[in-house]
Chains A and B, each alone.
Chain A
Amino acid sequence: MTALADVVAFACLLSGAALCLTAGLGLVRFPDVLSRMHAGTKPQVLGVLLVMVGAAIRLDGWANAWMLLLVAAFQLLTAPVSAHLISRVAYRRRHVRRDLLLVDEYAGTGHQDERYRGDEPGDAPPEDPRPAAGRPG
């Protein structure tokens, strides 16, 4: 029984660690902020859940299990919030590679800033050609 529980726990831990390695690889190899975030949120939800299940099996006792469940629930609650904030700012600040998008429902509706604000990457799309004094606001 204990050996079987250990096998299950180590399988969960190994899967979670493999997801962490995958996140690092995706962060290095993917082209823009949105796809890097897509890779980076793999261990944020499934990886953390698997690691917490493995740790809860290994650390017996209900106090530890509840604490690990709290961490997992908190990850599930907060990962969408921060991902939403970061991706909204990334779209408005032209951090998205528009040429790599298949569907862009925000295109041409003024959801992006017209002018650069200084923190864009080098491959950002060109800014609005109107002079700075001529635009409203």
Chain B
Amino acid sequence: MTVVSGALYAMMAGGAVLALYRLARGPSLLDRVVATDTLLVIISAGLAVHAALVRDPTLVPVLVVVSLLAFVGSVSVARYIGGMLLRSRTGDGRDVGLPLAAEEREAR
């Protein structure tokens, strides 16, 4: 029992730490969105595992909230990236205010 619960928590924590690494490292915003989505799913699975191990149903409504939050967060950030800078044309065919990374790339 102790071995099984330790293995469960260790695997969950390993997956969460690796997702956090991708969240911090990820080269683009979409990598971070994917990592956040996976991290929230791992968190809700970890809550379910904890509830199953201690036989405590208190955390079960939290699972619904966390899965809702994961969906709403990833969809809204993806829509935000999809519309980013598309409406910032000034009419002369140039984007106003590129993010810093693109300005550095053009300066190179």
Contact = CB atoms under 8 A, between A and B. Distances in A.
Interface of A: 9-10, 13-14, 16-18, 20-25, 27-28, 33, 36-37, 40-41, 43-44, 47-48, 51-52, 54-55, 57-59, 61, 63-64, 67-68, 70-71, 74-75, 78, 81-82, 85-86, 88-90, 92-93, 95, 115-122, 132-135, 137
User: Chain A contact residues: over half helix, strand or loop, or mixed?
Assistant: helix
Given A14-B8, A121-B28, A133-B92, A24 B67 contact: no
A67 B60 contact: yes
Contacts of B79: 85
A14 B73 CA distance: 28
B59 to A, nearest CB: 10
A36 B99 CA distance: 24
A9 B64 contact: no
Contacts of A41: 38
Given A24-B17, A28-B21, A85-B78, 20 more contacts: A9-B52, A14-B7, A20-B11, A20-B15, A24-B15, A27-B35, A40-B34, A48-B48, A51-B48, A57-B52, A71-B48, A86-B74, A89-B82, A117-B85, A118-B99, A118-B101, A119-B81, A119-B101, A119-B102, A132-B94
B contact residues, range: 35 or more
Interface string B68-81: 10110011001101
Nearest to B51: A55
Nearest to A28: B18
B42 A43 contact: yes
